[in-house]
């Protein structure tokens, strides 16, 4: 990582990064020995994905990575965040390495570096090997810690001579919360096993690889910023709890070695405990914190739902209702996704919160962006005119820069979500986040939206 002034200068000089996730891009799910992931299984269940699509082909970056890298190069991008598919390396989650998977990522990494684009690699973006889910319930079992560590170490060995930035997990809060059956206990167990896995992998990297390879390890956390719906004490306290139960759930252990006090008191025995040695391993187990930030919500005290509170689940445990309106006004203009409201000043508030509460750790914005609908009635020509996206990035970047220059927040990089329209998880192909339009009806042709030209000028 560069020194603070140097990197602030780099942001001022408009150097930027762009990122993807492999699940929505890569495709080729049955090629070259790749094993089945839980998302392959999930997407084949009727009614789970909007439009009943799956990511078997996605936008076919597996075969088109050279073309896509050229698009980045032409824009002036200097870094690319992508994910490695665990089941390409270990088709069954553990056991024998699949050489074809190693070969593919070697080619991708080398092609990026040949164009002067630095790879930022995410090890886990929600695609648990189905074999480990079947074998021991995946993240609900501590057995996964050893298998994840073996997978991560294989990646360090095979790619670490060229990859200098590693992200262990993408949005653990999302998959702990959304992927669980018994929501009174399972999200907390999953999150605990993820934090232990992250800390052990970071420890392995630091002890065995960091000195030789000269890289850095971090984790990417999803954060909605919350504003109190009113000035009442109850709502202000609920806003803090909302932050504790999302960002604090992961960042408190990483910075302080334990879960937030509000979580411990409200979840009680259902919240797993760190042993002394685990706490000391988790605390400080990162070189940077990745932040995925898109939107801001209002938060208010939720004391009415006594039945739900009696049942105990992750949502009611926080005692906070988080919504995009406060009774009189909507917090901002909506993008396409139901959860995505455009509130640029939330970026500045969030960066300052992390600075003051957590001692100004090194932050990289690992995701930021907005989506348009995939509307077949809109012509491609009109779809390329994405003024709303341009103004979104302009305003969020302006607030990010202000947090660095005016407030001294320790932010050293920014990735757009996303380079291309893609298969967007449960939204399937109904949502378009890309700077490049993908024509799903014509051989997945890539067309630059107006935002591409804007970023090109911004970067020059």
Q: What's the pLDDT tens digit per position in 360-376?
A: 999 999 999 999 999 99
Q: Has residue 22 got a pLDDT over 50?
A: no
Which residue in 2, 15, 135, 159 sits closest to 75, CA to CA?
15
Judge whether 171 counts as a catalytic residue: yes
Q: Is residue 5 part of a domain?
A: no
SS (H, E, C) 370-404: CCEECCCCCCHHHHCCCHHHHHHHHHHHHHHHHHH
CB 58 within 8 A of CB 23: yes
Q: Has residue 33 got a pLDDT over 80?
A: yes
Q: Is residue 204 part of a domain?
A: yes
Angle at 54 between CA 373 and CA 29, to 5 degrees: 130
pLDDT tens-digit map of 176-208? 998 768 899 999 999 999 999 999 999 999 999
pLDDT value at residue 13: 34
Catalytic residue among 118, 133, 367, 424: 367
Q: Is residue 341 part of a domain?
A: yes
pLDDT tens-digit map of 42-69? 877 777 666 666 666 678 899 999 999 9
For residue 438, what is the domain's CATH number?
Answer: 3.20.20.80
CB 11 within 8 A of CB 414: yes
Judge whether 367 counts as a catalytic residue: yes
pLDDT value at residue 178: 85
Q: Measure the CA–CA gap between 421 and 417, rounded to whole angstroms.
A: 9
With a pLDDT cut of 70, the percent of the chain lying above it is 90
Catalytic residue among 26, 133, 171, 424: 171
Please report the DSSP string for 399-424 in residue order: HHHHHHHTT---EEEEEEE-SB----
Q: Is residue 1 part of a domain?
A: no
Domain that holds residue 454: 12-459
Prior bond to 77 cis, omega within 30?
no
R_g of the chain computed on alpha carbons: 21
pLDDT value at residue 7: 31
- Please state whether beta strands 118-124 and 17-19 pair in parallel, antiparallel, or not at all (unpaired): unpaired
Token pair belonging to 226? 């919350």
User: What is the mean predicted confidence (pLDDT) over 372-389?
Assistant: 96
Q: How many CA atoms lie within 13 A of 15 on its CB side?
A: 15
Q: Is residue 96 part of a domain?
A: yes
Tell me the average pLDDT of the chain.
91
Q: Is residue 423 part of a domain?
A: yes
Q: Is residue 6 part of a domain?
A: no
What global pTM score does this model have? 0.94
- 10 Å Cβ neighbour count for 371? 23
Q: Is residue 188 part of a domain?
A: yes
Token pair belonging to 351? 């960066």
Domain count for the chain, please give it. Answer: 1
Q: Return the residue matching tokens 């491609």.
A: 380
Token pair belonging to 457? 């000028």
């Amino acid at each position: 990582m560069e020194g603070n002034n140097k990197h602030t200068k780099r942001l001022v000089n408009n150097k930027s990064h762009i990122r993807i996730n492999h699940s929505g891009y890569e495709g080729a799910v049955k090629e070259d020995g790749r094993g089945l992931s839980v998302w392959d299984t999930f997407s084949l269940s009727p009614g789970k994905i909007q439009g009943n699509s799956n990511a078997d082909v996605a936008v076919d970056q597996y075969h088109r990575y050279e073309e896509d890298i050229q698009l980045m190069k032409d824009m002036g991008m200097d870094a690319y965040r992508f994910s490695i598919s665990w089941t390409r390396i270990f088709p069954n989650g553990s056991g024998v390495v699949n050489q074809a998977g190693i070969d593919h990522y070697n080619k991708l990494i080398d092609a990026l570096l040949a164009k002067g684009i630095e790879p930022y690699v995410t090890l886990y973006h929600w695609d648990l090997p189905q074999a480990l889910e079947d074998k021991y319930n995946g993240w609900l079992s501590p057995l996964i810690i050893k298998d994840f560590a073996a997978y991560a170490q294989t990646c360090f060995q095979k790619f670490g001579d060229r990859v200098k930035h590693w992200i262990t997990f993408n949005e653990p809060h999302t998959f702990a919360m959304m992927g669980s059956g018994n929501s009174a206990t399972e999200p907390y167990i999953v999150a605990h096993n993820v934090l232990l896995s992250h800390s052990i992998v970071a420890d392995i990297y630091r002890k065995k690889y960091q000195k030789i390879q000269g890289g850095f390890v971090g984790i990417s956390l999803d954060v909605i910023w919350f504003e109190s719906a009113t000035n009442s004490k109850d709502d202000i306290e609920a806003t803090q709890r909302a932050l504790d139960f999302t960002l604090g759930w992961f960042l408190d252990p990483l910075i302080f070695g334990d879960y937030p006090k509000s979580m411990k008191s409200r979840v009680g025995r259902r919240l797993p405990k760190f042993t002394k040695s685990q706490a000391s391993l988790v605390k400080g187990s990162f070189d940077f914190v990745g932040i995925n930030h898109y939107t801001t919500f209002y938060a208010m005290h939720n004391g009415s739902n006594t039945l739900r509170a009696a049942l105990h689940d992750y949502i009611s445990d926080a005692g906070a209702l988080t919504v995009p309106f406060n009774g009189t006004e909507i917090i901002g203009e909506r993008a396409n996704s139901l959860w995505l409201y455009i509130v640029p000043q939330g970026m500045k508030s969030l960066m300052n919160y992390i600075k003051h509460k957590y001692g100004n750790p090194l932050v990289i914005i690992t995701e930021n962006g907005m989506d348009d609908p995939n509307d077949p009635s809109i012509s491609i020509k009109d779809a390329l005119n994405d003024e709303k996206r341009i103004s979104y990035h302009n305003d969020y970047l302006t607030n990010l820069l202000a947090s660095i220059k005016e407030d001294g927040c320790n932010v050293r990089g920014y990735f757009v979500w996303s380079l291309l329209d893609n298969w967007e998880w449960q939204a399937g192909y109904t949502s378009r986040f890309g700077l490049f339009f993908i024509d799903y009806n014509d051989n997945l042709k890539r067309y630059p939206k107006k935002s591409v030209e804007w970023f090109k000028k911004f970067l020059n």
